[in-house]
Amino acid sequence: MEILNPATEEVVERLEPATAEDADAAVARAKKAFPAWRDVAPADRSRLLRRLAGALEAERENLAQLESRDTGKPINDARGEMGMVADTFHYYAGMPERILGDTIPVSGGVDVTFREPLGVVGLIVPWNFPLTIASWKMAPALAAGNTIVLKPAELTPLTALEFGRIAREAGIPEGVVNVLVGPGSVVGQRLVEHEDVAKVAFTGSTAVGRGIMAGAAGTIKRVTLELGGKSANVVFADADLEKAAASAPMAVFGNAGQDCCARSRILVQKDVFDEFLDRMKPAVEALRVGDPLDEATEMGPLISADHRERVAAYVPEDAPVAFKGEAPESSGFWFPPTVLAPVSNDDKAAREEIFGPVVAVIPFEDEDDAVRQANDTPYGLSGSIWTQNGAKALRVARRIDTGVLSINSNTSVRVATPFGGFKQSGVGRELGPHALDHYTELKNVYIST
């Protein structure tokens, strides 16, 4: 396997891909390590995870440089992400002593519940936020007492391999953390089918997620899925238009649009449609697209040549391009930030997840029309509402079928709050205390008195 730098097309690393037999061996190691890891005293498991969080913090710059070279993401974004990786481990390091049960009043005795770890958990992650998304799965899984087999995307395995080393050096016992680099159709598939894997946590495309859900049925495996999105950024006429228009570009062009939370549909109330576009234009044209290792860069290249071709298909000759930004012409998988307007919510560019720097700007009439169009998609991951009317913001937020929303902001993800999708955007929640529910099994014990 050749690992390329998407900004230069140079080979960064060559690796030998794992096989199905390697997956079996990793699962066997994780299975063997499970009883001892489950039985580590909660305070000690906390201490080990805290030490790992500290080691990740210490290696933040190295990891950020590696992630930037492997994915093409701007170095400052990579630094932010590696900060979140450490924060995620810090947060869940506090959890082993806080995984609480209930006592339930019953007749004739006492009833208590426990949250038990599942066993071996398979973690399958994509290439857009490689170590960050892995950390959202690894930290709660380990805090709850599970052992893990992590399969990063073939395109971006380097920080996952580094993570394996850092975990070992931080004292995480042998066999608790296993990293497997190999094709999803071989190694990922094996994890999904393996009868000793109790659960698969997956982030990636809805198409592969569908196959994973079907494959997991063979062993009644627990599954959590974080899939695609086509999130709406809803801008009402009474919004702070300057702020909404200035922040709209990075809400979709961040990570070159390769973000499941990208606000790739901007719904703008008709009365201010033209004004909004006029205000957004200079922000798009000023975006700094280029060398990811340059501190000033805001947008890097796409992940691969194949992906660029896929994205380009959404901008044919006759596409309604309102304006676009710059992109280098040198080697690298570059694509300019592109604004399509006006677009109908029925158009292909508004219906399908493009996963690139292309945004559809769609007009709406009133509150009901905004809600109807925002919900008119098979997805339901993220979104934003811009208005200065607080009651309207909450009313609309309750009516939009999506797992994560922000009001007068375009953020989606925080370590301490739940993240995940409605509809075909997924099953289950990551981050916050809620993630632990998906890495434990509820046990009920009745004691006759």
Query: What CA–CA distance (Å, rounded) separates 29 from 41?
Result: 21
Contact between 159 and 63 under an 8 Å Cβ cutoff? The reply is yes
Q: Which is nearer to ligand TAP, 374 or 381 (CB)?
A: 381
Contact between 187 and 20 under an 8 Å Cβ cutoff? The reply is yes
In angstroms, give the least distance from the CB of 177 to ligand TAP.
Answer: 17
Contact between 132 and 263 under an 8 Å Cβ cutoff? The reply is no
Segment contacting ligand TAP (CB under 6 A): 18-26, 44-52, 94-102, 151-159?
151-159
Q: Rounded to the nearest 5 degrees, what angle is found at the Cα of 176, between the Cα atoms of 171 and 177?
A: 85
In angstroms, give the least distance from the CB of 132 to ligand TAP.
Answer: 9
Using Cβ positions, the residue closest to ligand TAP within the complex turns out to be 184
Q: Which is nearer to ligand TAP, 280 or 381 (CB)?
A: 381
In angstroms, give the least distance from the CB of 342 to ligand TAP.
Answer: 25
Q: Rounded to the nearest 5 degrees, what angle is found at the Cα of 42, between the Cα atoms of 40 and 48?
A: 75
Near ligand TAP by CB under 6 A: residue from 226, 276, 300, 374: 226
Q: Which is nearer to ligand TAP, 69 or 137 (CB)?
A: 137
Q: Per the structure block, which two tokens stand in for 3?
A: 């690992």
Binding-site residue total for ligand TAP (CB under 6 A)?
A: 30
185 binds ligand TAP (CB under 6 A): yes
Site string for ligand TAP, 74-113 (x = CB under 6 A): ----------------------------------------
The distance of Cα 307 from the centroid of its chain, to the nearest Å, equals 18
- Compute the half-sphere exposure of residue 388: CA atoms within 13 Å on the CB side of its CA: 8
Near ligand TAP by CB under 6 A: residue from 138, 166, 172, 227: 227
- Tokens 């805290």 correspond to 50
What is the 3-state composition of the chain as percent helix, strand, coil, each rounded to the nearest 5?
Answer: 45, 20, 35
In angstroms, give the least distance from the CB of 407 to ligand TAP.
Answer: 21
In angstroms, give the least distance from the CB of 203 to ligand TAP.
Answer: 4
Q: 158, 130, 143, 188: which is closest to 47 by C-alpha?
A: 143
Q: Which is nearer to ligand TAP, 90 or 230 (CB)?
A: 230
Q: Which positions ≥6 away from 372 have C-beta within 8 Å?
A: none
Angle 390-399/367-375 helices, nearest 10 degrees? 30
| Range 404-433, binding ligand TAP (CB under 6 A) | 426
DSSP reduced 3-state for 156: coil
Segment contacting ligand TAP (CB under 6 A): 142-150, 225-233, 278-286, 328-336?
225-233
Residues with a known catalytic role? 226, 260
| Range 193-222, binding ligand TAP (CB under 6 A) | 203-205, 208, 211-212
DSSP for 185-223, please give it: IIIIHHHHH-TT--EEEEES-HHHHHHHHHHHGGGT-EE
Q: 132, 175, 128: which is closest to 153 by C-alpha?
A: 128
Query: How does 183-198 read in b/e, with b if 16+ C-beta sit within 10 Å?
Result: ebeebbbbbbbbeebb
Q: Which is nearer to ligand TAP, 189 or 402 (CB)?
A: 189
Segment contacting ligand TAP (CB under 6 A): 24-32, 84-92, 119-127, 166-174?
119-127
Pairing between β-strand 426-427 and β-strand 222-226 as defined by DSSP bridges? antiparallel
Q: Which is nearer to ligand TAP, 229 or 337 (CB)?
A: 229
228 binds ligand TAP (CB under 6 A): yes
CA distances from 322 to 233, 239, 274, 276, 342 (A): 18, 22, 11, 12, 8
192 binds ligand TAP (CB under 6 A): yes
In angstroms, give the least distance from the CB of 175 to ligand TAP.
Answer: 22
| Range 363-402, binding ligand TAP (CB under 6 A) | 381
302 binds ligand TAP (CB under 6 A): no
Backbone angles phi, psi at 38, to 5 degrees: -60, -35
Near ligand TAP by CB under 6 A: residue from 33, 148, 153, 415: 153
In angstroms, give the least distance from the CB of 125 to ligand TAP.
Answer: 6
Query: What CA–CA distance (Å, rounded) separates 258 from 314?
Result: 14
Q: Which is nearer to ligand TAP, 192 or 277 (CB)?
A: 192
In angstroms, give the least distance from the CB of 87 to ligand TAP.
Answer: 17
Q: Which positions ≥6 away from 310 have C-beta within 8 Å?
A: 355, 356
Site string for ligand TAP, 237-276 (x = CB under 6 A): -----------------------x----------------
Near ligand TAP by CB under 6 A: residue from 68, 88, 178, 189: 189
The binding site for ligand TAP (CB under 6 A) comprises: 124-128, 133, 151, 153-154, 183-185, 188-189, 192, 203-205, 208, 211-212, 226-229, 260, 353, 355, 381, 426
